[in-house]
Structure 1
Amino acid sequence: MRKKSEDNLPLIALVGPTNAGKSTLFNRMTGSWQAITAREESTTRDRIYGEVEWQSWRFNLVDTGGLAEDESELYQKIKSQTLQAVTEADLVLFVFDATSGLTPSNLQFIKTLRQTKNVWLVANKMDSPKRRAELSTYDYLGLKTFAVSAIKGNGVGDLLEAASNDLPKVKINDPSAPVITIVGRPNVGKSTLLNSLTKSNRAVVSPLAGTTRDIVTEKIIIDGTDFLLADTAGVRRRGRIARGTEDFSVKRALTTISRSDAVLVVIDASEGTTRGDLHLIYFAHDLGKPLLIVINKMDLIETGRMPFHRYLHKFPNIPVSALKGENTDKVLTWLKENVASGK
């Protein structure tokens, strides 16, 4: 069953092979920097949602992890996220690298998709007239096909125009919900907390540290008030941050804190408070943000065995088990009582 957004906006899903430029196209269409773009394959791992406004009309867009022939547990979870996005979508854009073309596995996936979904082809990296002339190669598929250069913006306007004409019309409505940023060190359970609070599986949850790289957002309603939860990449101590994608993820997580209306700092109860935790706590505190410390993984420790820093008691905190859903209702209560219902 398709999960409708609370505002009932139509949804477009971006799917396709790794490194086809889906995240670049997502950022171009939404006018945001929400999805990470990099040469490294499978940079996007979660479903990343954004809102598109075009010619006074609105619709939602979801970016997904790249399709790859990989049987690892992590890739299977990424594929599951992609299939869930497809299930929810009103329109599926299959994005591929025009310089590489469509592979037999791509064609098989498209064949399966079009049995139940409206599918369009989007040939990305069409940076020259010669490549655009080759677009007729795919006419035999009988699908609407668009040539774009996501990085330059060429052809994206035509794609947006066609999509807005095809989808149900929803007018632009201005006010936005307060943004609550979830931050913490890698593998403390931020994504599990997001999934528990929203009763969803939006974020990929894995024992691998650093699974979340993008800003994953989910809207929740508490007693009639909308909130937008933003899950971020884990922030390590500066000396342990790898260059490249992870470094950019961390910088963007800190930027997200500065732009948010409140911050949930998640701490691993089985490890206690670290310097990295205190850095995040005081970073948010110094910005004057409403701050709640969520002490997660309480199911892994014995009562009274938490080696917490003495400064922690200066801030409101709630012990939870996000995995088991224990005490998370108190986090929702804190949000309702401490965060304004609008910006």
Structure 2
Amino acid sequence: MTESEFHENPDEQLAERLESISDEEAEKRATALEAGLASYDLEDEDRALLDAYGFEYEVEEARGADPVLAVIGRPNVGKSTLVNRILGRREAVVEDVPGVTRDRVSYRAEWNTKEFTLVDTGGWDSDSKGMASRIAIQSEVAVDMADAVVLVVDATTGPTSTDEMVVKMLRKKKKPVILAANKVDDERGELMAAELWGLGLGQPWTVSALHGRGVADLLDEVLNILPEVSAVETRIDEGGPRRVALVGRPNVGKSSLLNQLIGSDRVLVDNVAGTTRDPVDELIDLGDKQWRFVDTAGIRRRAHQASGADFYAALRTQTALERAEVALVLLEVQEPLSEQDVRIVTTAAEAGRAVVLAFNKWDLLDDERRFYLEREIERDLAHVSWAPRVNISAKTGRHADRLVPAMEAALDGWDTRIPTGRLNAFLGELVAANPHPVRGGKQPRILFGTQAQNRPPKFVLFTSGFLDPGYRRFIIRRLRETFGFKGTPIEVSMRIREKRKRR
């Protein structure tokens, strides 16, 4: 059955009838319905679901921020490989060409139960020009924002003039520095690394980031110089800043928007698609609140169709989306909505994130393009018609202040939990006015409903038979109309249970 085959009766009084039912009466009805389930064959997981209803999220108390360790060095000395070795997973993009890492990128790391923030950076080169010079600036900023620094040098080439320039820069910063001599795989490498004493940073800690040799000793020394609590990061609320994944296809303006919100050139921006490859975390104060933004690499194509650095960037963009609470999807209004745009929006919704659609470059839109854009939205984004829309200009900041109310509304819907009594009162009134059509001589009934979780809202309906997809979509639509749920996907699943046979 398609939704068009289900002819619902207009029921404008549903909200009024629900309003007339007191909370006490609603709870009594739900208790009676739940008791009625005793005559049905329930599984252990059914009883666990019914017993577990009502849990609350615990918000951790504010604590000092973890200390910050920056990993810097000239291009292609193995910084990202070392970062991956410390993390114990392939997180930082690694490719055997210089310049793969472009922004400074933060990860949460742990060694011997001590947690710290690990910052990977692009290659530092004092003589760089263009984008490379901006990469170097990001590396210097990373040093400013770190409690300690690991300088990675290629032991096989010995100290270079660029290494000496980095050391000169570090001395001005007056931060604790550990010298890591990378690519040391054997005793011969140890002898070559002895040359690095000449940099004047003390003992070179010999490591092989690729094979893991010496990394444990390096980390032990790192813990000796890192403070208990960061002196540069502000106190944070573990349950506090809402996490926002900034997603969209390449070159749609994500980094420009992030820089506009921050008020500085935090993220590299270039008129070439794919400038951003790493997710970049940033705490931003907006609307009297702190938000944690993640500027993700543009999603070029499906992960299995990508290669090299783009492949790992796509995987980490997906990870950033799954770690976020709300997805801010940036779309460009001057170009027709593409298959990529629709896929990204769909991916965000299927990941269970709250969704806000931000249409960029709205100030450049003419009347003709606006007409066609509205038709495209109606046709291609109908499945997320519940997502708030904001029309902005990332470059000028026009209407950027409207993003906060939209994100707050989406998160409110994402957080919403309906009391069991109120939900079953809603279902009872809904079904009374619009019963499920008879199929095969039987009419499936909704025996009981519960909200299994929020973030995103998921509902489980115990039924006596299969509910057609069109009828479930009808329930979801009326849930939105009655309880809000703006900006969040909703899932309604069934547990079909048969009546227990008398013995």
TM-score by length of 1: 0.86
Match in the other structure for 2:328:
264
Q: What aligned pairs does 1:194-205 form with structure 2 within 5 A after superposition?
A: 194-205=258-269
Aligned partners of 2:144 and 2:356: how far apart in 1?
Answer: 35
The reply on whether 1:312 has 2:376 as its aligned counterpart is: no
CA contact (8 A) 1:52 1:58 kept: yes
**SS of 2:395's equivalent?**
coil
- The CA deviation string for residues 103-123 of structure 1, in whole angstroms up to 9 with x for no partner, is 122213312322332333211
Measure the CA separation in 1 of the matches of 2:88 and 2:291.
Answer: 21
Question: Which stretch shows the higher mean deviation, 124-133 or 38-47?
Answer: 124-133
**1:323 alignment counterpart:** 395
- How do 1:82-93 and structure 2 match up within 5 A? 82-93=139-150
Letter of the 2:331 counterpart: I
Is 1:197–1:332's contact at 8 Å kept on the other side of the alignment? no
Question: Aligned AA for 1:18?
Answer: P
Asked whether the equivalents of residues 282 and 294 of structure 2 are also in contact (C-alpha less than 8 Å), the reply is: yes
Q: Deviations over 1:212-239 (max 9, x none)?
A: 0111111235567654221111122459
Correspondent of 1:234 among 289, 295, 298? 298
SS of equivalent residue, structure 1 residue 138: helix
Alpha-carbon distance between aligned partners in 1 of 2:264 and 2:218, rounded to the nearest angstrom: 30
Match of 2:201 among 120, 134, 143: 143
Report matched runs for 1:227-306 at 5 Å.
Answer: 227-237=291-301, 243-302=307-366, 305-306=369-370
User: What pairs up with 1:14-33 in 2 under 5 angstroms?
Assistant: 14-31=71-88, 33=90
Q: CA deviation at 1:53?
A: 2.8
How far apart in 2 are the matches of 1:56 and 1:254?
28
Query: How much does 1:142 deviate?
Result: 2.9
Residue-by-residue CA offset, 1:49-84 (whole Å, 9 max, x unaligned): 123333343332221111347644111211121122
C-alpha contact (below 8 Å) 1:202/1:216 kept by paired residues: no
Amino acid at match of 1:120: I
Q: Deviations over 1:285-325 (max 9, x none)?
A: 23332111111122332356334212336132111112212
What is the rounded CA distance, in whole Å, between the counterparts of 1:151 and 1:333 in structure 2? Answer: 46
Equivalences, count:
338
Q: 1:116 to 1:243 in 2, by over 3 A?
A: closer
Separation of aligned partners in 2, 1:32 and 1:224:
36
1:110-143 deviation per Cα after TM superposition (whole angstroms, max 9, x unaligned):
1232233233321112222321233322223331
Find the aligned partners of 1:108 and 1:251 in 2 and give their Cα distance. 35
Q: Which residue of 2 aligns with 1:158?
A: 217
1:122/1:337 CA distance change after superposition, 3 Å = same
Find the counterpart in structure 1 of residue 188 from structure 2.
130
Q: Is residue 58–residue 169 contact of structure 1 (8 Å, CA) maintained in 2? A: no
Name the CA shift for 1:259/1:305 in 2 (closer, same or farther; >3 Å).
same
Distance 2:169 2:308 in 1: 36
Task: Identify the residue that residue 120 of structure 1 maps to in structure 2.
Answer: 178
Q: Could you tell me which amino acid in structure 1 is paired with residue 70 of structure 2?
A: A
Is the Cα contact below 8 Å between 2:64 and 2:229 reproduced in 1?
no
- Give the conservation status (yes or no) of the 8 Å contact 1:90–1:117: no
* Structure 1 range deviating more: 224-233 or 117-126: 224-233
Report the Cα offset of residue 191 of structure 1: 1.0
Is the CA contact 1:91–1:117 (under 8 Å) kept in the aligned structure 2? no
The AA in structure 1 aligned to 2:267 is: A
TM-score (norm 2): 0.61
1:168 to 216, 224, 227: 227
The answer to whether the 8 Å contact 1:261/1:290 transfers is yes
Q: In the alignment, residue 187 of structure 2 is paired with which amino acid?
A: P
**Match 2:404 to one of 332, 339, 342:** 332
Where structure 1 has 5 or more consecutive residues not aligned to the other structure, the ranges are 1-5
3-state DSSP of counterpart to 1:126: coil
Q: Which residue of structure 2 aligns with residue 3 of structure 1? A: none
- 2: CA distance, partners of 1:182 / 1:300: 22
CA distance in 2, matches of 1:195, 1:250: 22
Aligned residue for 2:27? none
Other structure's SS at 1:130 match: helix
Percent of residue pairs bearing the same amino acid type = 36
* Residue matched to 2:43: none
Contact 1:35–1:215 (CA under 8 A) maintained in structure 2: no
User: Residues 143 and 210 of structure 1: is their aligned pair in 2 closer, same or farther, counting only changes over 3 Å?
Assistant: same
Q: Distance in 2 between matches of 1:65 and 1:140?
A: 24
Which is helix-richer, 1 or 2?
2
What is the CA-CA distance between 1:211 and the residue it aligns to? 0.1
- Equivalent residue, structure 1, for 2:151: 94
Please name the residue that 1:220 is paired with: 284
Take 2:118 and 2:288, find their aligned partners in 1: how far apart are those partners? 24
Question: Separation in 2 of the partners of 1:43 and 1:68?
Answer: 14
Equivalent residue number for residue 73 of structure 1: 130
Within 2, Cα distance between the matches of 1:201 and 1:9? Answer: 24
* Cα distance in 2 between the residues matched to 1:174 and 1:100: 44
Does residue 41 in structure 1 map to residue 59 in structure 2?
no
- Pairwise CA RMSD of aligned residues? 3.0
Q: Contact between 1:295 and 1:317, CA under 8 Å: does it hold in 2?
A: yes
Q: Which amino acid aligns with 2:409?
A: E
Deviates more, 1:290-299 or 1:125-134: 125-134
What amino acid does structure 2 have at the position aligned with 1:61?
L
Structure 2 unaligned residues grouped into runs of 5+: 1-62, 231-235, 416-453, 456-503
